[in-house]
Chain A
Amino acid sequence: MKKLLLAVALSGAAAFPGMASAADYKLDVKGAHAFINFKIKHLGYSWLTGRFNTFDGQFSYDAANLEASSIEVTIDTASIDSNHAERDKHLRGEDFLNVSEFPKATFKSTSYKAIDEDSGELTGVLTLHGVTKTISFPVEKLGEGNDPWGGYRAGFTGTTSLKLTDYGINYNLGPASTHVDLELHIEGIRQ
């Protein structure tokens, strides 16, 4: 009997490798310890940076089971902020994000390949401007541990470069500005 129980437990663990000790985290958007920034070259002479102010998401991460890591983020596209109202208005308009038609951008990971304990490659499905594509990009864990207020946190960073025309954004910003870098700096609180 004991043997049987052990066998069942083992097979269960094998069938659901992520279940055993996966930890679920919620992005700390309330405390604003999560940032989704972008940067794009202006004329090829400098970087223009901005961010999305409103988004939410959660991730699963367990140092003991890295491959089971996953993340899901939803961005409110209208919250784009490049510190210039006229430009933001243009970015929200039909030339760029067309936020009235595509108010949300989403990313949902499908797999994670660990390189070592603190870095790996995340693959997932990004929907932006109504276009859905599978992308992969490197991510890095900065750290995890107890916070001073009784919680437990983990933080990551990841950057990917998106070609604007891949997502149906065809406005000509010049030859140096065909791609936008999207940077995620996120911290989650373990649930």
Chain B
Amino acid sequence: MIRNTRESYGWLAIALHWLMALAIFGMFGLGLYMVELTYYDAWYKGSLDLHKSVGMVIFVLWLLRLIWRMNNETPDELPGPFWEQLLARLMHVALYAVMLALMISGFLISTADGRSIDVFGLVPVPALPWRVENQEDIAGEIHEWLAWGLMALVSLHAVAAVKHQWLNKDRGLMRMLRVTQKS
């Protein structure tokens, strides 16, 4: 089933979730790695171009995912105390928000002088018509903090999923891995 049900996420949501997870982990590693490269490393330029391109693709995935989520039902809350359910919901909002802010801050670094971002050399994404002073420095600082922040949130999110799956035994992780039909 492509659509979500009250028991489980549909395959499109699952695919988007894991595709983005993979891309974001890759981007975090790539980001940490590329800033250590020096001028004469063969991948000094390529790594940054890739990082920017993938970032723009993740933004499109993020948009699709949000639209899909808003036009779909969300599986029922897992059983648990009210505060846990609230926390889970807040975590999802925070993940979406930090992902977006992370991508915006990255975009603002590269477009701080009005240059566009060439997504894989194919699609130019233009800069915003206005900018602030020292935009690349401010956005860069924010970008780094948010990247670590997102990793912290993702870790908590993963711990929670694992806890639901194996401690609460309520298939918390399973519903993001396999589409379940109502029996």
Contact = CB atoms under 8 A, between A and B. Distances in A.
A and B form one complex: yes
A88 B40 contact: no
Contact of A88 (B38, B110, B136): B136
Contact of A89 (B38, B39, B115, B136): B136
B54 to A, nearest CB: 17
B50 to A, nearest CB: 14
Interface in B20-79: 38-40, 48
A78 B110 contact: no
Interface residues of B, number: 15
Interface string B105-149: 000011111010000000000000000001111001000000000
A89 B140 contact: yes
A85 B40 contact: no
Q: Which of A89, A171, A174 has the most CB of B within 10 A?
A: A89
Nearest to A83: B113
Contact of A85 (B38, B48, B135): B135
A100 to B, nearest CB: 9
A173 interface: yes
A92 B137 contact: yes
A86 B110 contact: yes
A172 B135 contact: no
A84 interface: yes
Interface residues of A, number: 12
A77 to B, nearest CB: 13
A112 to B, nearest CB: 36
A171 B112 CA distance: 24
A169 to B, nearest CB: 13
Nearest to B140: A89
A16 B52 CA distance: 63
A172 B37 CA distance: 11
Interface string A92-118: 100000000000000000000000000
Interface string A159-191: 000000000000111100000000000000000
Contacts of B111: 85
Contacts of A88: 113, 136
Interface in A39-55: none
A85 B39 contact: no
A78 B138 CA distance: 13
Nearest to B127: A85
A83 B136 CA distance: 12
A173 B110 contact: no
Give the top 7 A-B pairs by smallest Cβ distance, nearest first.
Answer: A85-B112, A85-B113, A85-B136, A89-B136, A173-B39, A89-B140, A89-B137
Given A78-B134, A85-B111, A89-B140, 17 more contacts: A83-B113, A84-B113, A85-B110, A85-B112, A85-B113, A85-B115, A85-B135, A85-B136, A86-B113, A86-B136, A89-B109, A92-B137, A171-B38, A171-B39, A172-B39, A172-B40, A174-B39
Interface of B: 38-40, 48, 109-113, 115, 134-137, 140
13 contacts: A78-B134, A84-B113, A84-B115, A85-B110, A85-B115, A86-B109, A86-B112, A88-B136, A89-B112, A89-B140, A171-B39, A172-B40, A173-B39
